[in-house]
Structure 1
Amino acid sequence: MTAADIERATRPGGLAPLFDPRSVAVVGASDNPAKWGYWLASGALTGRHRRTVHLVNRRGGTLDGTPFLPDLAALPDAVEHVVVAVPAPQVRGVVSDGLAAGARCFTVITSGGAGADEERALARLVTGHGARLLGPNCMGVVDTAAELRLSWGDFPAGQVGLVSQSGNLALEIGRLLARAGQGFSRFVSLGNQRDIDATDALEALVDHEPTKAIAAYVEDFRDGRRLARALTAAHAAGKPVLLLTVGRSEASGRAAASHTGALVTARATVEAVCRDAGALLLESAGEVVDTAVCLLAGAGAGAGAGAGVGTRRRAGTAPRAPGAQSTPGAQRTPAAQDTPGTRRARVAVVGDSGGQGALAADAFAARGLDVPPLSEPTRAALAAQLPPGAGCGNPVDLAGAGEADLTAYARIARTLLSSGEAEAVVLTGYFGDYASANPAQERHECAVAAQLAEAAEQSGRTLLVHTMARDTAALTVLRGRGIPVYERIEHAAAALAATEHLRTTPPAPPAPPQPPPAAPPVSDGGYRTTRELLRRYGLAFPDAEFVRSAADAVRAARRIGHPVVLKAMGLAHKTEAGGVALSLTDEHAVRAAFTAMRATTGAGHYAVEAMVTEPHAVELIAGVRRDPAFGPVLMAGIGGVRAELLGDVVLALAPLTPEHARDLLRSLRHAPLLAGWRGAPPVDVDAAARALCALARAAVEHPELAELEVNPLLVHPGGALALDAHAVLAPTERPRT
């Protein structure tokens, strides 16, 4: 093995032996179409004019004129990529033989052994020799540009790179792409990810010129921070990432020791990562395909993708910005989360009937897109081409003009595309179906389809077609020219809204790297300890003293000054447990509250704290939870006792910048409360943002804490004050025996 071979196999994004090997050996090849070995072998042979292909089966045989060799030792020369499709007990032996034959990459279709430990040992064997392993238990790899097909099934060629932990989902996406006139540039089935993981594959797609959009289905995020960096790199390269993942995990269902644990779910964390890295988290294979086709509209063969609404970009140029945002438990409409001040994309709708046009307009408006009235000059230009009484506003009602003359579709679309009054034009209704009823119209309808595509290309605007037709010749023309075609109007609206969101929402700036933790670890998560920890990081708290008896509480209240608050220590949810008494105005009230609280809670320690009554204040909640894949995740939202009821929170990876923290607060559904509601003065959002940054930094520098929370964080016109705090220690791992 030469130094060049090692570099070719292992440099970041440079998985050349996986995607475009000089030679391939399929071990377990078969001439039986019912077996995996047949599909792997026949797929490998499609690229034999480009690379050397060896087929291995100890029983002998041939396929398409290529004889089966008995084992890898019989190869006449070194092999770069070995595909392993043999029973699990034979895998390790095949891999050992492959390493001896000089292999730099292994794709293991079957499992790698009897369990995870054997698979990890297999990965160590491979990587210890400077090679790479895809799988085990994967469906294979496809690179259509490199003519590499090492998988089951047919994969249409196109511009979408797919990384998936599900083989069947990949087949579904492939079929949907083919129906839409698109396909794959690359497909990587991850399997059990014992070496090559989702981030490796994503990084390789970022560097892959034929890939214009990236789709990914990931269940196991592993090193989530590294994955987030890959998503950010894809955005910077102008390659939007459309992500699918599972909706729930054990973390979202467990009993939480704090509000943070209940509100920071696994799904919500991934949503926040996508938003800040410039990716879209979608819900289904259909959404992925619909959005990808819309993103690639007008790209054409060899042209650039990632073009958003209103612009058709050259290859490699980045869309203005991806991102999506949701609250836990409810997926927000992407277009509804536009960055403040961003103008919404304008959409013009053209329909065969008033009903379809009106419903289409409603669908796009509901997705946060603008369906504005057209100007008088544009209305006049349309009226000159339509029958008397036709609707010339927005939506435009053709009123039978298309049936009378098919070219009316192209003329009206061209007028709207070139008007400058809409970034996207949507044609909804019957077009594409005329030849179904009258085959003599097929040639004419196809010619009009070409005119529609030409109008979109010349205008530099986006044209979408929603039609009741399916798979007709005219629709084939549209798809072949890069015009998205949708069978349901809500799918067109969702795809266009997602595309516009990618274009308009900038990813968050990364926080500066933090030094390694230098602070001594925290030994407990009680209020007193947590309060002192956060005070060191700059959070302000009311004056307080900690006591154990009623007499001590009375004396503490006298020193602090009435009114005071009495809190029982050691309770995660003090208010619900009867562990908080407010507005104690004299010694008698303090003593009575202490006696009642001790009887109710049985607590041994209490805090006496100054009562804070700031006018026009808003209660926030802020917390950090340590996610097993993504590390510390900050949560901020509307707080107090209604935090979980409202569920109005936003998430971000910690640490973060003050600018990012301000943007998070302003994106809350109840953000108008912070800006001043019904004549109230605005609160100090900058002070709240600084408090969030301090909390995030404390969590990052104290990895012994699984959760860290302030609730409520009282934000008022003059600053921010933490009224309660709580921490949860991370469980200590038991040594393995």
Structure 2
Amino acid sequence: MDFFFKPRGIAIIGATSNSLKGGYSILRNLMNGFKGGIYPVNPRYTEIEGMTCYPSVQKVPDPVDLAIVFVPAARVPQLIRECAKRGIPGVMIESGGFAETGEQGIALQETLKQIAKETGIRLWGPNCMGLVDAVHRYIFSFVSQSIWDERFVAGDISLIVQSGMLSGVFLIDAMTHGTMDVSKVCSIGNKADVDECDILEYLIGDPDTKVVGLYLESIPDGRRFMEICRRSQKPIVILKGGKSPKGAEAAMSHTASLAGNGAVISGAMKQVGVTEADDFKQMLDICRSLAMFPKLSPQSSGRVAVITYSGGAGIVSSDFIDALGLELADLSQTTRDAMKTVFPEWMPVSNPVDLWPAVESNGADKAYITAVRAACADPNVDAIFLHIFVGGFSLTPDMESVAEEVRTSGKPMFCFLMGNAEEAREVHIRTQRLGIPVFRELYRAAECIRAVFSYKKAIERRKPAVASPSPVSISDKFCKILGTEKGSLDEHLSKQILGACDIPVVEEKIISSAEEAQMTALGYGFPVVMKGLSPGEVHKSDLGLVRLGITTVNEAKSGFEALERAMEGKGNILIQRQIQGGLELIAGLVKDPQFGPCVMCGLGGILAEAIGDVVFAAAPLSQSEALDLIGRLRTQKLLNGFRGFPPLDRKALAQILVRLGELGCAYPRIQEIDINPLIVSKGRPVAVDASIIL
């Protein structure tokens, strides 16, 4: 990928002297910063801006490693062929008019893919804004030349942005506010060839990048993306667009419909230690925080000391810290005694530390430094959340001295800033230069504190990928069904297959008469359940084909007859032992178009979709990964035993999830598996209803 990021020479195909055109902006941006050869290409000119303009890329002299193309879409395929013939290894196609425009554009983009496949040339784009490298002052883009009039300070955060205009907006916003310095911004557009995986892999090895942030609308090769993230020693933050449930509207199972809200992507990202953001500014703020604090002490657990000038701000900060799963530090007596030296006698010291009385007595510098020094030395404190105000009230300490204290301690500090706009902007920039991230909102600061400590925990939990799933041993009959059948298998057959994979299933039997129903019920012992298995129907309860709580032989007889009438002689009738339990779970597998087979578990029964406490992970899973997956559910109180119910046997559930993943990987025609409910009886989960969809 070096020919994209470090080319020796660049051909601009579509260069022009018309200052209103993108081809002119690309040329001028290169002239302002690029030190290699610059070769305008346009048969209409012999010279542009005092530079020789070449009639075709074939005439461009060596060395030329990269071509930037900005011409109408219809002309692009032929020009790419000419670049390949010329021996240029990479092309950035910044022209639009491809897959984003409809059928004709899709056909053009497919042609580009075919050319890349045939020739080996690498294509970045189309429909993108290219690359901006602030470290080397490279702008390989038609972004407005006014970018050079702004602060152009290199940082250590690199961005990969699928949206072309959004990448430009990120850059201009960061530069003009002066509070976010970037290393590289990569706009990848339609991803005909080069995609987020190629660029992410490059940036992970880039010495000028500490953190990578991504805005993506699709991740076509989810498995490769996960593996790159799993290997990364640098933090990765992702904002995924298009996570709405629309894609699951036609789903036949609970598992698939629950996957449609982006839960698969979120689960896969958690699996490999990627931090997920919910909006653009939040993504940038999290990137900035992780860049400043990529590694924390092994003993750090997220205990925060809040040092504020306002009791109200301290209370609200405490609320946010608690809500986000962090902890207010329990200050040691030594720390309290040290802080007490700057407080009036009547003022007790607690966390949050309200410094206003100390500032009134001793001034901001002495009050803040005393409090910060004591917090930094406290073994019970993992991070300091500092509140300052500029433009009045003398509430701005000497931030250089503050920064030195936290730097010496090795503990992260986060700063909440309010005050006069111009003065606040200067303090904001200066403080971040000192390695302290600054925020204008308490909640965003708390989110970023959580992100830093969550990243530490995620890396500690991150497991190597399962090299290969264990083989699934089932009968030839079942193998044939999974290899040839289509659509939904009925509940009984689905559970027979699951049982063959060592997944616990309820004892049950297909019956053909009322008398057999009565005899089987007596054999199982009451209560029993009876179900009608109508071909192609998954949701039996919605069709009135489930009879629960049958407690007598007469009820068994009448239940059979009612189901037989309801199904009009089509399908089978199933009788099963009614499992007595409290907690109902759901487990399953869905074949995701981006991440392949993914295992799911969550709260089941009728609450599965109402509450939506479900988690996903890409298969295959190790036992420890499956246990981690269970640990991500919100309803941990229920799993640990609630109101007299025994706690869930987590190892037993983890083994079910492992086996589901192995089954999905072994038989790629499985589209979905849905076990709902998975009833927990005496702590152990048992599948009482299930479907496999091929």
Does residue 566 in structure 1 map to residue 530 in structure 2? yes
After TM superposition, give the deviation of residue 512 of structure 1 in Å.
Answer: 3.6
Is the CA contact (8 Å cut-off) linking 2:9 and 2:66 kept in structure 1? yes
1:613-632 correspondence to structure 2 within 5 Å: 613-614=579-580, 617-632=582-597
Amino acid of the structure 1 residue aligned with 2:469: Q
Is the CA contact (8 Å cut-off) linking 1:142 and 1:187 kept in structure 2? yes
1:79 to 61, 64, 72: 64
1:54-453 correspondence to structure 2 within 5 Å: 54-60=39-45, 65-111=50-96, 114-151=104-141, 152-153=143-144, 154=147, 156-178=153-175, 179=177, 181-234=179-232, 237=233, 239-249=234-244, 252-297=247-292, 306-308=294-296, 311=297, 344-390=301-347, 392-399=349-356, 401-402=358-359, 405-408=363-366, 409-430=368-389, 432-434=390-392, 448-453=398-403
Is 187-196 or 343-352 further displaced after alignment?
Answer: 343-352
Q: Give the whole-Å Cα distance in 1 for the aligned partners of 2:432 and 2:194.
A: 35
Does residue 484 in structure 1 map to residue 437 in structure 2? yes
1:706 to 654, 671, 676: 671
Q: Give the whole-Å Cα distance in 1 for the aligned partners of 2:353 and 2:571.
A: 71
Q: Which residue of structure 2 lines up, in the alignment, with residue 334 of structure 1?
A: none
Q: Give the whole-Å Cα distance in 2 for the aligned partners of 1:618 and 1:713.
A: 8
Q: Give the whole-Å Cα distance in 2 for the aligned partners of 1:95 and 1:263.
A: 43
Q: Give the whole-Å Cα distance in 1 for the aligned partners of 2:12 and 2:636.
A: 59
- Structure 2-normalised TM-score? 0.89
| Change in CA separation of 1:603 and 1:266 when aligned onto 2, cut-off 3 Å | farther
Q: Give the whole-Å Cα distance in 2 for the aligned partners of 1:382 and 1:594.
A: 77
| Change in CA separation of 1:663 and 1:146 when aligned onto 2, cut-off 3 Å | same
1:627-642 correspondence to structure 2 within 5 Å: 627-642=592-607
Q: Which residue of structure 1 lines up, in the alignment, with residue 101 of structure 2?
A: none
After TM superposition, give the deviation of residue 105 of structure 1 in Å.
Answer: 0.0
The aligned length equals 663
Amino acid of the structure 2 residue aligned with 1:653: A
Is 535-544 or 385-394 further displaced after alignment?
Answer: 385-394
| Change in CA separation of 1:172 and 1:348 when aligned onto 2, cut-off 3 Å | farther
Q: Give the whole-Å Cα distance in 2 for the aligned partners of 1:483 and 1:684.
A: 44
The Cα offsets for residues 654-700 of structure 1, whole Å up to 9 and x where unpaired, read as 22122222232233233333333244433432222222222222222
After TM superposition, give the deviation of residue 108 of structure 1 in Å.
Answer: 0.3
After TM superposition, give the deviation of residue 285 of structure 1 in Å.
Answer: 1.1
Q: Superposition RMSD on alpha carbons, in Å?
A: 2.7
Report SS of the residue matched to 1:382. helix
Is the CA contact (8 Å cut-off) linking 2:8 and 2:63 kept in structure 1? no
After TM superposition, give the deviation of residue 575 of structure 1 in Å.
Answer: 2.5
Q: Give the whole-Å Cα distance in 2 for the aligned partners of 1:718 and 1:267.
A: 30
Report SS of the residue matched to 1:407. helix
Provide the identity percentage: 29
Q: Give unmatched runs, 5+ long, in structure 1.
A: 1-14, 298-304, 312-319, 321-341, 730-737
Q: Give the whole-Å Cα distance in 2 for the aligned partners of 1:671 and 1:555.
A: 41
Q: Give the whole-Å Cα distance in 2 for the aligned partners of 1:89 and 1:278.
A: 42
Is 573-582 or 670-679 further displaced after alignment?
Answer: 670-679
| Change in CA separation of 1:127 and 1:698 when aligned onto 2, cut-off 3 Å | closer
Q: Give the whole-Å Cα distance in 2 for the aligned partners of 1:107 and 1:504.
A: 39
Q: Give the whole-Å Cα distance in 1 for the aligned partners of 2:25 and 2:370.
A: 48
Q: Give unmatched runs, 5+ long, in structure 2.
A: 99-103, 474-478
Q: Which residue of structure 2 lines up, in the alignment, with residue 510 of structure 1?
A: 465
Report SS of the residue matched to 1:456. helix
| Change in CA separation of 1:170 and 1:603 when aligned onto 2, cut-off 3 Å | farther
After TM superposition, give the deviation of residue 646 of structure 1 in Å.
Answer: 2.5
Q: Give the whole-Å Cα distance in 2 for the aligned partners of 1:215 and 1:247.
A: 17
Report SS of the residue matched to 1:188. strand
Report SS of the residue matched to 1:712. strand
Q: Which residue of structure 2 lines up, in the alignment, with residue 668 of structure 1?
A: 633
After TM superposition, give the deviation of residue 401 of structure 1 in Å.
Answer: 4.6
Amino acid of the structure 1 residue aligned with 2:514: A
Q: Give the whole-Å Cα distance in 2 for the aligned partners of 1:604 and 1:559.
A: 26
| Change in CA separation of 1:617 and 1:353 when aligned onto 2, cut-off 3 Å | closer
| Change in CA separation of 1:421 and 1:547 when aligned onto 2, cut-off 3 Å | closer
Q: Which residue of structure 2 lines up, in the alignment, with residue 325 of structure 1?
A: none
Q: Give the whole-Å Cα distance in 1 for the aligned partners of 2:470 and 2:118.
A: 31
Is the CA contact (8 Å cut-off) linking 2:301 and 2:382 kept in structure 1? no
After TM superposition, give the deviation of residue 458 of structure 1 in Å.
Answer: 1.5
Report SS of the residue matched to 2:127. coil
Q: Give the whole-Å Cα distance in 2 for the aligned partners of 1:196 and 1:203.
A: 11
Q: Give the whole-Å Cα distance in 1 for the aligned partners of 2:72 and 2:434.
A: 46
| Change in CA separation of 1:493 and 1:684 when aligned onto 2, cut-off 3 Å | closer
| Change in CA separation of 1:533 and 1:251 when aligned onto 2, cut-off 3 Å | farther
The Cα offsets for residues 180-212 of structure 1, whole Å up to 9 and x where unpaired, read as 543222222111111001111111111112110
